[in-house]
Structure 1
Amino acid sequence: MRIKLLCFYSVLFCLFSGISFGQDIALYNQFFGRYDFTFFGNTLNPDENTYMYPNYMLTSSSADLNLVSGDVIEKAYLYWAGSGTGDFDVKLNGIDLTAQRTFTTTQTSSGYTFFSAFYDVTPIVTAQGNGTYTLSDLDLNALIPTYYLNATNFAGWAIIVVYKNNTLPLNVLNIYDGLENLSPPTPGTIDYLHITLSNLNVIDNQDAKIGFLAWEGDRNIAVSESLSINGNVLGNPPLNPSNNAFNGTSTIIGSSTLYNMDLDIYNIQNNIQIGDTSAEIQLTSGQDFVMINSIVTKLNSQLPDATVTIDQTGVECNSRNVAVNYTVSNINATDFLPAGTTITIYADGIIVGTNQTQNDIQIGDSETFYQFVTIPSGISLNFTIEIIVDQPGLVTELLENNNNATMTATLAVGPTPNPLDDLVSCNRGYTEGLFDFSAYENTVTSDPNSTVTFHESQVEANAGVNPIADPSNYMAATTPKQIFVRINGPECFTTTSFFLTVKPCPPIVYNAVSANGDGMNDTFHIEGLRDVFVNYELYIYNRWGREIWKGNNNTPEWDGYVKDGIGNTQAPDGTYFYILYLNDPDYPKPLNGYLYLNH
């Protein structure tokens, strides 16, 4: 006969639901902290089944939950089982339940099928607490004519309760489940069942214990029947003799009338060693048909369990600096995570940053970090950030394979700007110039989805504030003047710039002077001269070649009077000659011509 052990392995708040297709005993859930467990339930067989009696089964039965003061229910799992392919709709205290998970197994010698079903009844048990629970509407009587022939007609139910109490030591509770059987093909032939319980981490074996939920064991059959852990036979006489472990008993309430089902707990303090990460279970039977549905282990353990989550990443435009916001936690733990635990940050496998926890992180707590890292130039724009806590493994933990987290990230790159030429305008005086750079809005980028703005400083361009209102008519008070361009792309912006410069343009001479004080042409005005050619010299001569006036950038324009003349007299109407020395390397030759004066 082949039997497999079932145990629950409970990870805090990590539950699975739905139909189970695998029948092997396997880890189901795990709890870390001040936890312990108990069983309660009842058979639906009115007596030990034989091929003579009884020839019926009950359709309901009751059992009591009795927790002590301070016990707080964490989880409650209901299993019911019986002969046949399954009755998956039952009631618990009048509440309709439909199986969330199901298991089946077959007896080798007869080919008969047996089933087990599961429902998470935590809300029901939490609401009621201690008291009597009744499972009903489990009716398998129609199968008795078939299963009665080899005395395998049975039904029953059990609830595994995980509870927390602050007075308990720090433990790790593992729960495994499935449905496997020991089924000797003929009497006297010994069948073996080996089960490996994994995911153990034995730090302290003090008060270690293991519990079994089994079906169809017979109190009057003890042929080569044994239950061993790590090669050591378990027994709890007189209730559970070492040669008849599955005999219709409950060690929780000391009952020997739990017909054809077993709820037994054994102390395994001397059967498991510190440092063990697994345990080997072996069952043997030379006659008895036994099914294992669940196994629970409780081990004392005081260890942290470092985990990390990447909360978010932030990137800057056109920068390889990345802000990483992450959290180191010690949730599923039985001891604090010490300060100084190392943190390593990778980008595509390359270390880009390190850190360490700043404080002792207590059980259930966490510590949040905000850190900048620089992505090397050899890494592509799209990359993977990975953070590993305690990578050297200096801190012994409950689990060593859950210390990392990853997240994809993308560097933000703005549109590629096209090069812009500097603009040159005529000097309007003291390097002032008027410019039109509105056409650059279309030529600076080839991206039709981009928008372009012009700014007077890099700070304003980066911030996207105070854009130049009219790029087609921009007056630069002084030059050279740098103009900054912001190109806004779909994800990021880019900036570029160009310079505004001025040059001295050829002066424009207005050679008619009407010095009559009417405000029009009252002086000899040369546009583009004053404050542009600051070293210029201007001479005016009469028709006989006599100099009558000279001036420069520091003197007023000629108003028709003879400078330094006797009595400072007005020059008479007529034609005069001027010579203008610009004293500029771009204009080495003097300008000259006639002007006409009238009053």
Structure 2
Amino acid sequence: MFFIPQRVLVCKYLVLLTKKVVLLRTKLLYFFYLIFLMISSSVFGQNVSLYRQFNGRYDFTFVGNTLNPLENSYQPVPTILTSSSATLSLNSGDVIENAYLYWAGSGTGDFNVKLNNVDIVPDRTFSIIQTSSGLPHFSAFSDVTSLVQSSGNGTYTLSDLDLTSLIAEYYNNRTNFGGWALIVVYKNNALPLNQLNIYDGLQAVPNEINILLDNLNVIDNQDAKIGFLAWEGDENIRVSENLFINSALIGNPPLNPANNAFNGTNSITNSSQLYNMDLDIYNVENNIRIGDTEATIRLTSGQDFVMINAIVTKFNSQLPDATVSIDDYTLDCNVREIPVTFTVYNLDSTNPLPANTNISIYAGDQLVGTNTTPAILGIGESVTLTQTITLPPGIPNTFTLQIIVDENGAVTELLETNNEDFQIINLMVSPSFNNIPEVEACNLGLEPVYFDFSAYEEAVTTTSFQTVTFYENLSDATLGINNIVNTTNYYSASLPKEIFVRIEDRNCFAITSFFLKLKNCPPIVYNAVSANGDGMNDTFHIEGLRDVFVNFKLYVYNRWGKEVWQGDNSTPEWDGYIKDGIGSKQAPDGTYFYILYLNDPDYPDALNGYLYLNH
């Protein structure tokens, strides 16, 4: 009756005696594994943290099996299986929501396995090194929801998990193991409203690990439970092996004694032959308090190498969870009234959200609008609202639009830190521009006048992002249609003419204008007259005079101040003949003087000068 304990004792002493040999043999493996870890994961494993949360009428169960035919401390020769099976047995009314497969073992990992002959590859992997031996261990995860939903209750077989080449090496350290587990989340309308959290990672003892389970919201601790997926626990190694929840030692005897929490057991099947892995569920009604938002798991072990891979918690939590999203908003040029569309949700909840839950709308830190939910929002429901907000003058053109639901905390929720959404808003305002003067052209009398204002395309802008177009009327400029194409040679039958300028940037436009005007430019006097009939300079010609200054008077005098000719817009140009009212005679060659009265408000003073006549 004492044979087995003595054998265990001998095995443990052999491990100690051969420790140096084992370490030498594993140095090379450890070196290559360090290279692997630099690529794939941390040497010290991955901290257990929240993976997924479910709120509603949910519960969970474990399904899985070991690949060890015996606990590794009792194997006469190192042996491991490549497949094993377990049975899923859900009750009537249980509907599978999600199913997650974990598999683990010695070494750096076998990541190509089969579940019911379906090829499985991991979505995520975990790895860790046993510090006392330097040996690596692995775990893998795959979401197999579709497969389990289609298969339902029945036998599940994991196969092609082949660790046989490593077992002899790990047997020397008695950490040769392999196994798999399904975490199955199911829904049943007969269940109370619960909050179910799945945490995973890969952390190990000895000597102690502390895991913080956050994102909890305990409203009622009745039927509160916590489940563990752990690897490599040994039934007969119970040196200071204790599990604490919120500093309280827990156990589930006789299956899980308080001093041997991870001992190769399955709480679902009540089996104690789940060699070197554990699927254990504990009732923690007395360890969790109403109002708790987190729990602390502490595992100690003086000798046994235990790895925690996943933790599942289920607490009764009948609360709504109000969230909000800004869906859309409409901006118009120079308009400070903004229609905003937003949606209030009650998605990850376990209770309806009451009607008239308050909604606050802020522009920056200034309240600019309020609203309420118009009706009760059931679990998973939402409502979309549209509200026009008016921005006060002090709100800048760029501001943060923020919408908060249940800002005053009138509704107790599952999570009080997810009640808002925000959006940076850049108002559309007319672009700045440079003022441009009117364009003046010289009056050509009866001849048409053409204008060139092409340079204004660049002159009016203030940034390189602006584009400029020209229009003949304000309506076309506002609509951006029928723009003037030819700005270098533009003709208008009526003057003065207002030209409208549209300046656009990336989101808005501005309109300015300028006038096209005619002006009577100073006439140009050609003061050489060659009255010889050769067709060149035969008359006293003044360019820009006739049909421009229509009321002009022109007088020509000889050097002694005697008038020799006078004319106006109705008389021909002076051809070198003296007009005496009786007849005419040719004026002698020489220098003459003129006085020109333009009779124009812009030119009140007479123009005078000389001219030279020859024949």
TM-score by length of 2: 0.67
Q: Which moved more, 1:157-166 or 1:108-117?
A: 108-117
Q: Which residue of 2 aligns with 1:213?
A: 229
Please give the alpha-carbon distance, in whole angstroms, between the structure 2 residues aligned to 1:227 and 1:210: 12
Q: Of 468, 474, 484, which residue of structure 2 is paired with 1:450?
A: 468
1:357 aligns with 2:373: yes
- Residue 93 of structure 1 deviates from its aligned partner by 1.6
Q: What secondary structure does 1:450 align onto?
A: strand
Distance change >3 Å, CA 420–CA 181, structure 1 → 2: closer
Q: What secondary structure does 1:50 align onto?
A: helix
Q: Which residue of 1 aligns with 2:266?
A: 250
Query: Are the equivalent residues in 1 in contact too, given 2:349–2:379 (CA < 8 A)?
Result: yes
1:297 aligns with 2:313: yes
Q: Of 339, 343, 357, which residue of structure 2 is paired with 1:341?
A: 357
Q: What secondary structure does 1:150 align onto?
A: coil
Q: Which residue of 2 aligns with 1:43?
A: 66
Give the letter for the 2:295 counterpart. A
Please give the alpha-carbon distance, in whole angstroms, between the structure 1 residues aligned to 2:179 and 2:187: 27
Please give the alpha-carbon distance, in whole angstroms, between the structure 1 residues aligned to 2:378 and 2:472: 54
Query: Are the equivalent residues in 2 in contact too, given 1:315–1:412 (CA < 8 A)?
Result: yes
Q: Of 254, 263, 277, which residue of structure 2 is paired with 1:261?
A: 277
Query: Are the equivalent residues in 1 in contact too, given 2:222–2:316 (CA < 8 A)?
Result: yes
Query: Are the equivalent residues in 2 in contact too, given 1:25–1:179 (CA < 8 A)?
Result: yes
Q: What secondary structure does 1:25 align onto?
A: strand
Q: Which residue of 1 aligns with 2:339?
A: 323
Distance change >3 Å, CA 421–CA 29, structure 1 → 2: same
Distance change >3 Å, CA 96–CA 243, structure 1 → 2: same
- Residue 382 of structure 1 deviates from its aligned partner by 2.9
Distance change >3 Å, CA 275–CA 490, structure 1 → 2: closer
- Residue 106 of structure 1 deviates from its aligned partner by 2.6
For structure 1, the 5+ residue unaligned runs are 1-17, 184-190, 424-435, 501-599
- Residue 137 of structure 1 deviates from its aligned partner by 1.2
- Residue 181 of structure 1 deviates from its aligned partner by 1.6
Q: Which residue of 1 aligns with 2:115?
A: 92
1:182-193 equivalent positions in 2, closer than 5 A? 182-183=205-206, 191-193=207-209
Q: Of 298, 306, 316, which residue of structure 1 is paired with 2:322?
A: 306
Q: Which residue of 2 aligns with 1:126?
A: 149
Query: Are the equivalent residues in 2 in contact too, given 1:152–1:216 (CA < 8 A)?
Result: yes
Please give the alpha-carbon distance, in whole angstroms, between the structure 2 residues aligned to 1:437 and 1:251: 98
Q: What secondary structure does 1:315 align onto?
A: coil
Please give the alpha-carbon distance, in whole angstroms, between the structure 2 residues aligned to 1:456 and 1:106: 78
Distance change >3 Å, CA 440–CA 319, structure 1 → 2: farther
1:120-159 equivalent positions in 2, closer than 5 A? 120-159=143-182
Q: What is the CA deviation profile of residues 537-590 of structure 1, one whole-angstrom value per residue up to 9, with x for unaligned ones?
A: xxxxxxxxxxxxxxxxxxxxxxxxxxxxxxxxxxxxxxxxxxxxxxxxxxxxxx
Please give the alpha-carbon distance, in whole angstroms, between the structure 1 residues aligned to 2:323 and 2:450: 56
Please give the alpha-carbon distance, in whole angstroms, between the structure 2 residues aligned to 1:386 and 1:87: 49
CA RMSD of aligned residues (A): 3.5
Please give the alpha-carbon distance, in whole angstroms, between the structure 2 residues aligned to 1:289 and 1:485: 81
Q: What is the CA deviation profile of residues 134-183 of structure 1, one whole-angstrom value per residue up to 9, with x for unaligned ones?
A: 11111212222222123221110001011111221111111111112222
Distance change >3 Å, CA 19–CA 376, structure 1 → 2: farther
- Residue 68 of structure 1 deviates from its aligned partner by 1.9
Give the letter for the 2:65 counterpart. N
Distance change >3 Å, CA 247–CA 418, structure 1 → 2: closer
Please give the alpha-carbon distance, in whole angstroms, between the structure 1 residues aligned to 2:382 and 2:480: 38
Q: Which residue of 2 aligns with 1:57?
A: 80
Give the letter for the 2:460 counterpart. S
Please give the alpha-carbon distance, in whole angstroms, between the structure 2 residues aligned to 1:437 and 1:50: 105
Query: Are the equivalent residues in 2 in contact too, given 1:51–1:148 (CA < 8 A)?
Result: no
Q: Which residue of 1 aligns with 2:425?
A: 409
Please give the alpha-carbon distance, in whole angstroms, between the structure 1 residues aligned to 2:514 and 2:320: 59
Give the letter for the 2:143 counterpart. D
Q: Which residue of 2 aligns with 1:366?
A: 382
Distance change >3 Å, CA 442–CA 376, structure 1 → 2: farther
Query: Are the equivalent residues in 1 in contact too, given 2:470–2:499 (CA < 8 A)?
Result: no
Give the letter for the 2:272 counterpart. S
- Residue 286 of structure 1 deviates from its aligned partner by 3.2
Distance change >3 Å, CA 221–CA 314, structure 1 → 2: same
Distance change >3 Å, CA 338–CA 439, structure 1 → 2: farther
Q: Of 101, 104, 123, which residue of structure 1 is paired with 2:124?
A: 101
TM-score by length of 1: 0.69
Q: Percent identity?
A: 60
For structure 2, the 5+ residue unaligned runs are 1-38, 440-448, 517-615
Q: Which has the higher contact order (CA 8 A, sep 6+)?
A: 1
Distance change >3 Å, CA 143–CA 318, structure 1 → 2: same
Q: What secondary structure does 2:96 align onto?
A: strand
Q: Of 408, 412, 415, which residue of structure 2 is paired with 1:399?
A: 415
1:171 aligns with 2:194: yes
Q: How many residues align?
A: 463
Q: Which residue of 1 aligns with 2:238?
A: 222
Distance change >3 Å, CA 124–CA 437, structure 1 → 2: farther
Distance change >3 Å, CA 472–CA 365, structure 1 → 2: farther
Query: Are the equivalent residues in 1 in contact too, given 2:470–2:483 (CA < 8 A)?
Result: no
Please give the alpha-carbon distance, in whole angstroms, between the structure 1 residues aligned to 2:390 and 2:143: 48
- Residue 420 of structure 1 deviates from its aligned partner by 8.8
Distance change >3 Å, CA 472–CA 327, structure 1 → 2: farther
Distance change >3 Å, CA 468–CA 285, structure 1 → 2: closer
Q: Which has the higher helix share?
A: 2
Distance change >3 Å, CA 488–CA 52, structure 1 → 2: closer
- Residue 256 of structure 1 deviates from its aligned partner by 1.5
Query: Are the equivalent residues in 2 in contact too, given 1:89–1:96 (CA < 8 A)?
Result: yes
Please give the alpha-carbon distance, in whole angstroms, between the structure 1 residues aligned to 2:504 and 2:369: 31
Q: Which residue of 1 aligns with 2:289?
A: 273
